[in-house]
Amino acid sequence: MSFRPEPALADGTPEGTAVLLCNLGTPDAPTAPALRRYLAEFLGDPRVVEIPPLAWKPVLHGIILRTRPAKSAAKYASIWTPDGSPLKVWTEKQATLLRGYLGERGHRVAVEYAMRYGQPSIATRLDALKARGATRVLVLPLYPQYSCTTTASVLDAVQAWGRGVRRLPEFRFVNQYHDHPGYIDALVRRISQYWMTHGRPDRLVLSFHGVPQRTRELGDPYHDQCHATARAVAARLGLDDSQYVVTFQSRFGRATWLQPYTEPTVVGLARAGVRRVDVICPGFVSDCIETLEEIGMEVRQAFLGAGGQAFHHIPCLNDLHEWIAALAAIAEQHLAGWPTRASAPRPLM
């Protein structure tokens, strides 16, 4: 490892404080080669697939990376926008809006976003922030529920970057905000606004990304935090237990993942005569392939094909005002005690 010379640092000034939003990441293009690069990095992360590398690497490189990239690329092509992958478009917008929001509230902080897999990487963004004089960095993963597969992996990437740096910034790290009142408010607002224009469903499905059941047995709080989010939202919407259901989507591989699974659940609801379901994905704060393609297309087809009458996919929080306000509140709480405001002279009366 080689240490590079360090640029001068803006110690003690508010400009030295930065917020780094971190999301999962997405391929650069909806093509098989781009998917292969992205999936190799993502599925090669030992936090994501907890199989010993000697056993996993031959399967990953010999089977999965030969077949999945082309299939996934076709799915990404169906949701790609002129500005790129929806996940990246929304994440970038959230960073821009948060920058403005914190600025309006008098904070002089740099706000950037980074991706755990693909670009802009966490290391690239930390290099850039440090070059701009950042001496304090608040890392805010865009995962409301803590999981070792996602949240912990963001910290791994920050630590990996730090191993090559002589003079480290001071770091703070947001672990979770699954029950933060601002986040719950934003979800309630998103759903109730949707129902004002589209009417109410017979059943609300709150679908979260799945993880292997084994991670729960080993102590991952993710499952319980998903249920805590769902209970808080349902209580605020006045829903009783018969009016909503929590499910887990995006299962990968043959192991048992958290249950019940989203698609078989909505198929079962259709077969039981439930006419309309609305699906919201509270764990995803930005629409992405998992919400737009898997829920909006695959799960929709499954519900309608099993006799369901109406399927509504409620959008993620994306650029909802209440969500940006929640992000600002979460950031502010974690920035407490760090200089973020210029000590401007008192204005002349």
Ligand X SMILES: C=CC1=C(C)c2cc3[nH]c(cc4nc(cc5[nH]c(cc1n2)c(C)c5CCC(=O)O)C(CCC(=O)O)=C4C)c(C)c3C=C
Phi and psi of 294, rounded to 5°? Answer: -65, -50
CB of 217 to Fe ion, least distance (A): 20
Residue whose tokens read 């005569």: 273
| Binding segment (CB under 5 A) for Fe ion, from list 124-132, 217-225, 230-238, 293-301 | 293-301
Q: Could you give the count of Cα atoms lying within 13 Å of 194 in the half-sphere of its Cβ?
A: 20
Site for Fe ion in 213-252 (CB under 5 A): 250
> Is 298 within any annotated ligand binding site?
no
Query: Is the CB of 101 or the CB of 257 nearer to Fe ion?
Result: 257
Residue 49: strand, helix, or coil: coil
Cβ contact 149:164 at 8 Å: no
| CA–CA separation, 40 and 6 (whole Å) | 32
**Which residues, other chains included, contact 303 with Cβ-Cβ below 8 Å and sequence gap of 6+?**
266, 267, 269, 270, 277, 311
The count of chain residues that interact with Fe ion, using the rule CB under 5 A, is 3
| Binding segment (CB under 5 A) for Fe ion, from list 30-38, 89-97, 289-297, 339-347 | 289-297
Query: Sheet harboring 244-249: ordered strands across?
Result: 244-249, 203-209, 276-280, 310-313
129 binds, among Fe ion, ligand X, none (CB under 5 to 8 A by kind): none
Cβ contact 143:91 at 8 Å: no
| CA–CA separation, 39 and 240 (whole Å) | 40
Query: Is the CB of 49 or the CB of 267 nearer to ligand X?
Result: 49
Residue nearest Fe ion (C-beta atom): 250
Residue 111: strand, helix, or coil: strand
Binding site for ligand X (CB under 6 A): 24, 26, 43, 48-49, 68, 72, 85, 87, 143, 147, 149-150, 209, 211, 222, 250, 252, 283-284, 288-290
Residue 138: strand, helix, or coil: strand
Cβ contact 134:17 at 8 Å: yes
> Is 6 within any annotated ligand binding site?
no
Site for Fe ion in 247-276 (CB under 5 A): 250
Query: At residue 79, what is the residue type?
Result: I
Query: At residue 181, what is the residue type?
Result: P
Neighbours of 189 (CB within 10 A): 17
Query: At residue 118, what is the residue type?
Result: G
| Binding segment (CB under 5 A) for Fe ion, from list 11-19, 95-103, 136-144, 283-291 | 283-291
Residue 45: strand, helix, or coil: coil
**Of 344, 347, 319, 332, which is closest to residue 97 (Cα–Cα)?**
319
Residue 44: strand, helix, or coil: coil
Query: Is the CB of 250 or the CB of 318 nearer to Fe ion?
Result: 250
| CA–CA separation, 341 and 348 (whole Å) | 19
Query: Is the CB of 209 or the CB of 300 nearer to ligand X?
Result: 209
- Check residue 294 for interaction with Fe ion (CB under 5 A): yes
Binding-site annotation: residue ranges: 209, 290
| Residues near Fe ion (CB under 5 A) | 250, 290, 294
Binding-site annotation: residue ranges for Fe(2+): 209, 290
